[in-house]
Structure 1
Amino acid sequence: MSSLPQPVPPSWKDLGKSSTDLLQKDYPFNGTALEIKTKTPSGVTFKVAGSRPSHTAPIHGELETKGFHKAQGLTFTGAWTTSNVLKTQIELENQIAKGLKLDLTTTLAPSKPEGKGNKTAVLAAVYKQSGFHSRAFLDVLKGPTFTADTVLGRDGFLVGAEAAYNVTDGRISRYQLAAGFNAPEYAVTLHALNDLKSFSASYYHRVSADVEAGAKAVYDTKLTNGGVAIEVGTKTYLDSAAFVKAKINNAGVLALGYTQSLRPGLKASFGLALDTQKLNEVDPSGQVHKVGMSFVFES
């Protein structure tokens, strides 16, 4: 009896994504952010994003445009930031082989001195098939460094590994491992990172159609106190257009988030972070207690 076709597993960077998104996304307490997305009838998209951290004066902004050539499987993305950094990305997908994607990403900072990190160039290849997801990157100007990762999946079980090789030095500069299990309503992921010196375990559970919960524990052997950092969080849908999120870590920092779709194409998010061990302290710098908001317009 032949087994059923296996779905494509997540990439290395997306292992534990459900828990990461639950604990990290939709908490805009570090300042104010605005994002505007538009799309032309021909499929070209434009995005203007700006953010101002609560503890600094300068506003960081980025203008991005993305175009597609579906017949050729080609995508071009260009961006320009207020830091005077030019970014380009060219992607070619499913043309040489089914499931293969090639990518060239470059950045250029004309205002920086030559040779001081003013430019980068990374070649990437991604190959996806049933039960298999592999990526390879060549950082042309740094090292050069070759990085590869692979994730294998079968019946919900996932195993993955990543390694970086410095071509100039002729040595492996980093290696990492991961394992997990994904089910429709829950996911568990274990990571051994930074040459197996840092370990993390994450858990995600869709309790019901309206409630999600998750947790993450991190242990780093380099920390002098040798403790484990733990964070737990939850997300509750109030209705089809609004949800609230809450999380707390073992350092006593409580974070709250509220997201509301005001109308189709307009979403507002509000975030608050409180250090529960310093509630009575005056915080003029905004470093202890934080508040912020984010608005996204899309058409």
Structure 2
Amino acid sequence: MRAARPGLSACFSFSVSSSLRAGVQPGSSEPSKRTIPEKRAKQGLKMDREEDKKKGKETEIQMKESKPCSHCKTKKCGSMAVPPAYSDLGKSAKDIFSKGYAFGTVKLDLKTKSQSGVVEFSTGGSSNTDTGKASGNLETKYKVKELGLTFNQKWNTDNTLTTEVTMEDQLAKGLKLGLDTSFVPNTGKKSAKLKTGYKRDYMNVGCDIDFDLAGPTVHAAAVLGYEGWLAGYQMAFDTAKSKLAQNNFALGYKAGDFQLHTNVNDGTEFGGSIYQKVNDQLETAVNLAWTAGSNNTRFGIAAKYKLDKDASVSAKVNNASLVGVGYTQALRPGVKLTLSALIDAKNFNAGGHKVGMGFELEV
């Protein structure tokens, strides 16, 4: 056999190694599909996908952490929105019992405002169907948004003039200052009240001073809230007699569509209410009250049902067998009609039932 030529074998080995570096398989004239640049590009794509997944997980975690809980819709979990004023505790249940009814009266209310929204006008009148006595009022409100000022003037058919000036969120955020004055021209009686209020997360406090010639009366109230729980205190101190004229406590719980409120007034009057929004159409409320040393317990149930976006019906009944029904219809945007009736179920044949009608116009 002939020995292989050294030059030929060296050339063959050089060509094979060069083909492998270039990505050409032995016996093939085409380069391999998985070249080094393609591998590096795929590795970079995988790294980008992993980073996107990590960012997506971090976004989901942030969304879960910032998602509000059931009792605080606008705050992060662990905090609570500004609690209501003491006078507004249990307001949702009170509205179910009071709004949508006008027993024994015929009412007309008109509201309008300027095109800029700076000036608002409202007037109202009512007539008692039993006595025929009519009454009315006129109110003008002027706002200076740049200074946080609001001027409010009222007049009624009893010839009482009232002027109120308020300033809000100027000296400090959440601080409201006001001066309320009234004057009766027929008798010359004058009165003035200085109002202050401060609200922020977890707390809502207020203090009013009612000036009188005999001596001012100090009214103070505070409401604290945490994780849906509400606790409030209200007092009135008569400086002329140097004694408490009012001493009230309240405790409640508010969680989304459910509200519970209890109160004790002067240690003798006890009350409580429950409000429940069953769904978007139905709202219900229960009210209970009694006085110490008396067996007279007051109990009531009320409900409001929305037939559609323009109509709703209301009904309530108490332990005295007084049944109230109401129907509210929005005839057109800004025009609302309310019809109501109060029926004495215990003395149904004896008469004494009351009907009422209300008409509201807003332009």
* Band of TM-score, shorter chain: over 0.9
Counterpart secondary structure, 2:146: helix
Contact 2:79 2:227 in 1 (8 A): no
The answer to whether 1:255 aligns with 2:324 is yes
Q: Aligned residues: percent identity?
A: 36
* Counterpart Cα distance in 2 of 1:3 and 1:27: 38
- Measure the CA separation in 1 of the matches of 2:291 and 2:129: 29
1:199 aligns with 2:270: yes
Larger Rg computed on CA atoms = 2
Q: Could you give the per-residue CA deviations for residues 15-45 of structure 1, whole angstroms, max 9, x where no partner exists?
A: 0001000011111113100000011023200
Distance of 1:46 and 1:145 partners within structure 2: 32
Q: Aligned partner of 1:245: which letter?
A: S
How far apart are residue 289 of structure 1 and its match? Answer: 1.0
Secondary structure of residue in 2 paired with 1:41: coil
Aligned length: 287
Q: Secondary structure at the match of 1:23?
A: helix
* 1:276 equivalent in structure 2: 345
What corresponds to 1:184 in structure 2?
256
1:227 to 280, 291, 296: 296
**What amino acid maps onto 1:26 in structure 2?**
G
- Judge conservation of contact 2:203–2:225 (CA < 8 Å) in 1: yes
Once residues 292 and 208 of structure 1 are traced to their aligned partners in structure 2, the CA distance between those partners, rounded to angstroms, is: 29
Instruction: Tell me how far apart the structure 2 counterparts of residues 48 and 107 of structure 1 sit (CA, whole Å).
Output: 18
2:283 aligns with 212
| Structure 1 CA distance for aligned equivalents of residues 105 and 77 of structure 2 | 51
AA of the residue aligned to 2:257: E
**Superposed, which structure 2 residues align to 1:52-91 within 5 Å?**
52-91=127-166
Query: Could you say if the C-alpha distance between residues 3 and 263 of structure 1 is closer, same or farther in structure 2, counting changes exceeding 3 Å?
Result: closer
Instruction: Show the counterpart of 1:124.
Output: 195
Mark the CA change 1:230 to 1:143 in structure 2 (over 3 Å): closer, same or farther. Answer: farther
AA aligned opposite 1:280: N
Q: Normalised by the size of structure 2, how large is the TM-score? A: 0.77
Q: Residues 217 and 77 of structure 1: is their aligned pair in 2 closer, same or farther, counting only changes over 3 Å?
A: same
Cα distance in 1 for partners of 2:350, 2:152 equals 46
Greater RCO between the two (CA within 8 Å, min separation 6)? 1
Q: Give the Cα–Cα distance (whole angstroms) in 1 for the partners of residues 131 and 176 of structure 2.
A: 39
Give the superposed CA RMSD: 1.5
* d(CA) in 2 for partners of 1:48, 1:41: 18
Give the equivalent residue in structure 2 for 1:26: 100
Q: What is the distance in 2 between the residues matched to 1:29 and 1:14?
A: 24
| CA distance in structure 2 between the partners assigned to 1:53 and 1:220 by the alignment | 31
Q: What whole-Å deviation, never above 9, does each CA across 1:211-233 have from its counterpart, x for those lacking one?
A: 0111100011254xx22100101
**Residue 174 of structure 2 is aligned to residue 99 of structure 1:** yes
The one-letter code sitting in structure 2 at the alignment partner of 1:292 is G
CA distance in 2, matches of 1:107, 1:267: 32
Distance in 2 of aligned mates of 1:295 and 1:132: 38
Distance 1:119 1:55 in 2: 32
- Give the aligned residue type for 1:217: L
Choose 159-168 or 246-255, whichever is displaced more. Answer: 159-168
The answer to whether residue 86 in structure 2 is matched with residue 17 in structure 1 is: no
Native 8 Å contact 2:78 2:227 kept in 1 = no
1:44 matched to which residue of 2? 119
Per the TM alignment, residue 109 of structure 1 is displaced from its structure 2 partner at its CA by 1.1
Q: Is the 8 A contact 2:79 2:226 kept in 1?
A: no
How far did 1:264 drift?
0.4
The answer to whether the aligner puts 1:292 opposite 2:356 as a matched pair is yes
> Greater strand share, 1 or 2?
1
Structure 1 residue 143 displacement after superposition: 3.6
Deviations 1:223-255 (A, max 9, x none): 4xx221001011100000010000000000000
Q: Which has the higher helix share?
A: 2
SS at match of 2:307: strand
Quick one: distance in 1 between partners of 2:215 and 2:273? Answer: 33
